[in-house]
Amino acid sequence: MARDNSLLKPKFKRQFIFAGSVLMALPVLYWAILSLLDVPHDQKQLSPHANVSEAWYKSQSSPPAMITTPDLPVFPGGVPQMGKAIVTGSAYEGTLPKEVYELRAEHSASAVLVGSASGVKLSKENTASLEPMGSHTAATALPRWQKFAVATTTSSNKPLIAIVIDDMGVDRKRSDMAIGLKAPLTLSFLTYAKDLKDQTERARLRGHELLLHVSMEPRSSKVDLGPNALLINLSDQELRRRLDWGFSRFPNYVGLNNHMGSKFTSDVKSMRIVIEETKRRGLLFLDSRTSSKTVGAKLARELGVPAVERNIFLDHENNINAVNTQLAQAEKIARRIGAVVAIGHPRDATIKALQTWLKSVESKGFQLVPLTTIVKKFAKP
């Protein structure tokens, strides 16, 4: 007997309608899920640029693995967490200079700071602002580098050691660890870090001195300079605008030093603007010496701005033994010339090494001081 197919037609018709309805609903469901997940519109579209992400500093994650020396990140200890944006370029210009910068034997330590080593003779007028705390100058008339200095009484015969920690503020975990170290250290905060007022207030309450860490153009073109970096091709007006932005980021700092800047600090015209603005605000200048061709300290002395220079970097390598070796070298420099300025970074090995070293530095016959103490002791007219 033949089957009556007319009975099956309604069933197939219903199945076809159901399948079609499901297919039509899928795009709506897809967009609904994306909306619930709050995925940005520019990531919803599939495009050749879908994997391009914002610069690391915008999310304030730890800087990425740096250019290596030879196999370890230059700084700091952390890398972005999984799922965070991949950076568009390295955050630092390359390996740290390994030079140990000391004054030639024919000059005294004070000459490094005041400027006779550079052949510049400062007038009494230019050196008037270098008078130490406790002079006849009224407190209200003190330049900012003295007004916001951490007060320290020095022993006449102890070599002085100033430890500066650069790149503060972005890697919050390690920045907090650095703030927790024994004071007084000199902490230099990057201008584009978030919550700077809160971070720097806590640092001051712990007894640390503050610097402004200003991004300046390196010779490498493969690095992420961050916002408002100083570049040599900018107009004078734009350079001053970017400096104004940086100077407004938080209060109570005593001066500034350069972040990167191997190209910028070698350019006389550009650096003159930086030093002029530094002088106008009554600040000091620390030359990090990321290039042996830097003109920063020399220009500062010519213009009568208190200036010091980095003698040694502590953390070319991210291991405790290497940092301890550099700390021992810093001690030798301090014994030879009376004072040393050592720069480190908020890296795991650096912080761990300093935690131990800071407990014993005084017993070795040294005095740990903020940067301004070295300026005040050696920069007298």
pLDDT digits (tens, 9 = 90+) for 129-167: 333 333 334 445 899 999 999 999 987 789 999 999 999
Contacts of 278 (CB under 8 A, 6+ apart): 255, 256, 284, 285, 300, 305
Contact 143, 129 (CB under 8 A): yes
Mean pLDDT over all residues of the chain? 77
Measured torsion, CA atoms of residues 192, 198, 200, 201, in degrees rounded to the nearest 10:
160
pLDDT tens column, 7-48: 555 556 666 666 666 667 666 666 665 454 443 333 333 334
* Whole-number Å distance between alpha carbons of 340 and 328: 12
Domains defined for the chain, CATH in brackets: 109-378 (3.20.20.370)
**pLDDT for 183 beyond 60:** yes
For residues 54, 55, 59 and 61, what is the CA-based torsion angle, rounded to 10 degrees? Answer: 130
pLDDT band of 318, cuts 50, 70, 90: confident
CA 31 to chain centre: 42
Do 75 and 344 meet the contact criterion of CB atoms below 8 Å apart?
Answer: no
3 state SS for 223-264: ECCCCCCECCCCCHHHHHHHHHHHHCCCCCCCEEEEEECCCH
Averaged pLDDT, 299-304: 96
Whole-angstrom distance, CA of residue 74 vs CA of residue 257: 19
| This model's pTM is above 0.85 | no
Contact 55, 88 (CB under 8 A): yes
Comparing 229 with 86, the larger pLDDT belongs to 229
- The answer to whether 281 and 247 are in contact (CB under 8 A) is yes
Q: How many Cα neighbours within 13 Å face the side chain of 58?
A: 11
Q: Which amino acid, 324?
A: N
